[in-house]
Structure 1
Amino acid sequence: MKTKMITAAAILVGLATGAGAADLKPASGHTINLGAVNGSAYYTVEDGGLRLVATVAGGETSAPVRFISTLADGQAMTISVPASGGAEELTFRRIGDRLVVEDEQDLRASLAQ
């Protein structure tokens, strides 16, 4: 029984971080590609938490949009862009001192298999 619970917990942790999950390092850029919307994100370590800055635009002629959020442990910020088959999403999740980037499209694809 204990082994089954440990196995189930490991599977849930894997699903929570998603197939497209990756750690983002402080002051390192992360490329955002959500269909026709592209941009970049980075974070810095501040007294109040991890300050995440994401800038996206829907092409070279559209005005960029910037999102800024200071995340405490356990908090997340999701960028969602409407698409023909639903929405494309990218989630930045703080887990302890780490910032994990989760590509929701990859998670759905991995669950469908």
Structure 2
Amino acid sequence: MTLFRTCLLTIAATAAATAASAGEIRPAGAASLDLGPLAGVAYYAAEPAGYRVVVTLAPRAAAPASRFEAVLAPGQSVTVSTPREAGAAARAVTISRDGDAVSVTPVRVRQTAEATAAIE
């Protein structure tokens, strides 16, 4: 097992142990994410402009992870999703900030029609 994968699993285990109830993340904790073929963790840190939310995801098979970051002001939220086969709804979680609380909520995403565009 690679050092990266070992670190990711350690972070995920720590996140599972420190995540607050009802999906709320504590400032020193993290939340586990399950997006089907991807698994990972989300955590946040306070910054002058808002709360920086960091999401790290890795495929369940051995492959490099992906990271997503966003700064959330009070009342803001961000949705992280993974596509599935054509015609199927994506798997998604919404990370929301309400005052000083940050929470992670699984989302049922509507089925969407996939489209392609070309620039000529």
- Structure 1 residue runs of 4+, over 6 Å off? none
For 2:49, the equivalent position in structure 1 comes to 48
1:32 aligns with 2:33: yes
Report the TM-score, using the length of structure 1 for normalisation.
0.68
The alignment of Structure 1 onto Structure 2 pairs a total of residues equal to 87
Alpha-carbon distance in 2 for matches of 1:23, 1:94:
10
Structure 1 vs Structure 2 CA RMSD? 1.9
SS at structure 2 position matched to 1:77: strand
For 1:91, the equivalent position in structure 2 comes to 94
Report the TM-score, using the length of structure 2 for normalisation.
0.65
Q: CA deviation at 1:57?
A: 1.2
Contact 2:79 2:93 in 1 (8 A): yes
Which structure is richer in relative contact order (CA contacts within 8 A, separation 6 or more)?
Answer: 1
Q: CA deviation at 1:93?
A: 0.8
Alpha-carbon distance in 2 for matches of 1:35, 1:54:
15
2:58 partner amino acid = A
1:62 partner amino acid = A
For 1:80, the equivalent position in structure 2 comes to 81
Gaps of 5+ in 1: 1-20, 109-113
SS at structure 2 position matched to 1:86: coil
Gaps of 5+ in 2: 1-21, 111-120
Q: CA deviation at 1:23?
A: 1.3
Within 5 Å, give how 1:13-24 maps onto structure 2.
Answer: 21-24=22-25
